[in-house]
Structure 1
């Protein structure tokens, strides 16, 4: 589209170029403001149409519009889409061949381009801004603007170079756009980009088409399988580590799914191929770290799952927002554990950041924990993090569709904290539950913990319930987890009011029920061939070691293994009664028995 193309109205451009009959929400307000030469900050949810807020003004104003974008894949996707619509657009980035780079510059200097996408690093190097002085600049659009703020969840120091724009191009409008920014981040963006006197165009962050759900991570693969049975189509599963992403993709493929891995440690060609398959519309499940997803434009992502607790609401909101951009129903699932909370707290404490930054990060983590543990409308809890209040419960989250009843579990919480204190804060949850349930294990006998006042005082509470209590106590900060050692539970100062009875501890009724009402163990099956084979293996193993069979595994544990039929060591680790020591010692043999015995 040449430079001298006749200027058209925003509505004409919207219809003729983009094929839309009208603007949505606050788009029209933003577009007319920028076309008139105004600057501003645009806060819109993922899928809310932020791109049109600068693309339409770019085609209405004379000159070249420069769009700052953090990712090459995002630039290429938007350039390809614009070219499909007949718009002269290009991108300058590090992966261009020299001849391609020269061609882009020829189009820039000749006035053939209308939109140029660049990274913040590229914009500030090679005297690029000075070279732009030879032609008219229509506007600057700073996409993913939260990256400029150290309070933002994706802070990128390279974005700080953009603070020079106002000084060098004082007459050129600057429009900053983001889908995730809390109050402090918003003010930081405005200060750094000299937008204090410019309006903030804030849209509702609500995405009512996305059903929100969260659950404690108890048997991860079983929970994920159950979730995948309720969804259909393409999705993203966010994993906490690179190894986890690869392992998750591998076992999903073994389950018959088309799954890909994506993380920063992969070579460039593999990452580009995975992204290409996802972007071109294949029905795949992308198992990824947070390295994947910023700027994803695919509209038909039907679900997003997280297998670990995100660091804060902003990151979680942005990631789940990649589902359902077409406005059709989509689902989001969060699986989390007490260890996630404790590990995040330790990372914050040990980071080299200043105390103010650590305080902000702790507040974000606490807000994320509140969302995960919420016993009221989960969407209302999430939106409050962005300064938005729903008038009523959403009706589209797991808490709304299946409201929990809360019961007073203060006595049980006191028993668990007391058990941790009386054992010297040197043991993990498994051992504390053994003490509370009155199990005479080797470790209990070794340390004389059968003589403690708490021994056997928690028989009426099911094992799964103790896990629920511990996780919530960690979430509330009454217990800490020594993640640098072996996961010992350590009471904190916040536990004192609980122990003294100065405050109550409330738990979901579904979790806190008497053992008879919530017996989450499996009865030993007398005629199950898998259970029989496991017992035979255990008998032979006990004979070799000259020990009682039950010290290897109880019947109850073998029954759980036979019922769950784990396929890997990770699956086996989730079975009650299988600790790390026994997993390392017997895991391979147990899996071998399962593989050789028909269910």
Structure 2
């Protein structure tokens, strides 16, 4: 193959928020969790709760059932028929929540799972990532929240079960250790996950996990770190983390007395802090490579790394160097007002995307009403609601509020079958609701300014934001950004180009004429792409369009054109900057006549450019009127005569 287009997939699911919080699994904690889930379900979507044991599964299920939440249960000790029924009801949205062991999930291709909750530390990051990946498959903001207790980290023997292979047992223990490290991590969770699976990450903050979004606190922990490290060193590195902490806290256990560890100089010095606090510090020192875990059979010992030795050596004198480290939630909770372990405190954030869509209050009500319309249609058809249309399509319909089938057909994601079969059901509810709440049809409703996100708040990873800033604001070329001095390694120009287009789709300002010049998208190439799209009849996949184009038209040309089409941009000068009075004046007959001479279809921006003697808004109104009369239609961004 000559210059094949190569794409490498990523483990990164940017729409998923990763959150982790310690809990104590008390009755009050479960009640708070139930209340939080109940509030969260009001925004639509489904929830899966994964438990590590059948006992926990049944306990959480009963608590949710008592709260009258539509909940199902799924575990290995249930009969086949009961499991199949739970699976069927959940898939069809007749159950809002599924509480299950890891036995549930294979074959679940449900796009509108908004939340996955892990009630306990998973046994490996592989299973955690697979289970968390079952939420947000439609690309909308979703959440994976993990609640752990310290007791979860001592389950290596339970997970090893009947395994007779020493290699297998050691592998299980090592996997659990990595899951524990993830739970106790004070830095970016997404970065940790991606690097664990072998993906290189340049940023230090993803902006979409609890560590990156929380108000991270740091302070000098040199004294406490010195005490813990020196105690571990005095014990010879032959024990786990619990024993040195017991020594620091002055325990009189038989093991400590028999080994005369109560004679150590560190004995009893750390009794001001709880065992949980010291364990959290141990986790921080592990994540910053001052300590290391060693697995022998199923037993774990902890010892000091070379970096830890260097810190101890430098701290022997009077002038101990500062050691500023991040504080975990366990540490800050205890320091602020005693232990708050087990408090939910809004850890299940509102991720319904209503705020990011800038929905007004009436629009939120309409959105939920249209979800009910979809549910009723699905029940009548005996299918799952997402098989009728996705949540994202419902959001677009809510924003546009079409008054006719022609307007409905113009919405992205709505096909002719949907319009013909279900259109009347949706249009009737939209019309009645809009009349009741005085909402404008066929356009955007007034948006409350407090809900609009500023540029700095739009969702873009640091790497992508930096690429956009260097190109748009600093004026660097794609080539210069990809090979910018100081990088540990160069980035492919195609990657930088993709970052810029993603920034455009997120609403960032883009100098389109400059980008077209840089990528080489000329009016002639634009015309060829339009013609190819007309032949293919769809923009869902790029390869069929590329096959219709000459070799000199690249994927970069095609991506740029499609992005501009989606954002209603043009590589010509903005028509609003042209002097009115120069050119043709738009009328319905004139537009119809001009479209007849362009059977392959025309972009709205080109129609405006041709009739530059009229205002852009007037041309748009005329096109809308022609659509309403079924004289023209819009497909893939191109207007054609019916």
Using structure 1 for the length normalisation, give the TM-score: 0.43
The structure having more radius of gyration, on CA atoms, is: 2
